[in-house]
Amino acid sequence: MKKIEYLESIVKIPGIRGIYVFDENGKEIYRESTFSRDKEYYKLLVESFLKNKEKFPEILYLFTEKHLLILAHNEKFFKGFLISISFKDINLGLLRIKIKKFLNID
């Protein structure tokens, strides 16, 4: 399965509100979102993550009251940066497996 097909299958998981993928230089390579004004807000997040990514775990799950923000990278195969936004009650097991597989596609 190609990377893009994997991303499309992630988007189909019920509860997903946005998937953003950037290359190692921070250039947007994939974006599917239900938010209309998201672009202006993720710039700083992407920049600070790319600057410090060696300090970060492969997958970071950040839970708010109702949402789950996932930040993911993988130095071996996927050197970019993935952001996923979903509702907190999403099928986390399925989302995690799909993101992990995406990160490990050569």
Partner 1 sequence: MEETLKYDPKSSLILDLVEEYINHYLYEEAETLLKDYLKDSPITPRAIKLWMRIAELQKDFEKYKKLKEKYEKIEKIYFEEKIKVKEKELLKGKKEIEGIKELDDFPFIEIKEGIEIFLKGLGLGNVKKIIAEDKNAILYIRKNEKWREIKFKENTKFSNVTWIMKSIEKIE
Rounded-to-integer distance, Cα 55 and Cα 8, Å: 29
* Residue from 1, 56, 89, 105 in contact with partner 1 (CB under 8 A): 56
Nearest to 30 by CA among 53, 9, 55: 9
Closest CA to 31 of 20, 43, 22, 23: 20
Least CB distance to partner 1 at residue 59 (A): 4
For partner 1, the binding residue among 7, 10, 42, 95 (CB under 8 A) is 42
Question: Cβ 89 to partner 1, closest distance in Å?
Answer: 11
Residue 37 interacts with partner 1 (CB under 8 A): yes or no = yes
Type of residue numbered 100: K
Tokens of 95: 């989302």
Stretch that binds partner 1, among 5-13, 23-31, 88-96 (CB under 8 A): 88-96
Closer residue to partner 1 in complex, CB, 2/84: 84
Return d(Cα 31, Cα 47) in angstroms, integer: 17
Do β-strands 28-33 and 59-63 pair in parallel, antiparallel, or remain unpaired? unpaired
Contacting positions for partner 1 (CB under 8 A) = 35, 37-38, 40-42, 44-49, 51-52, 55-67, 69, 71, 85, 92-93, 96
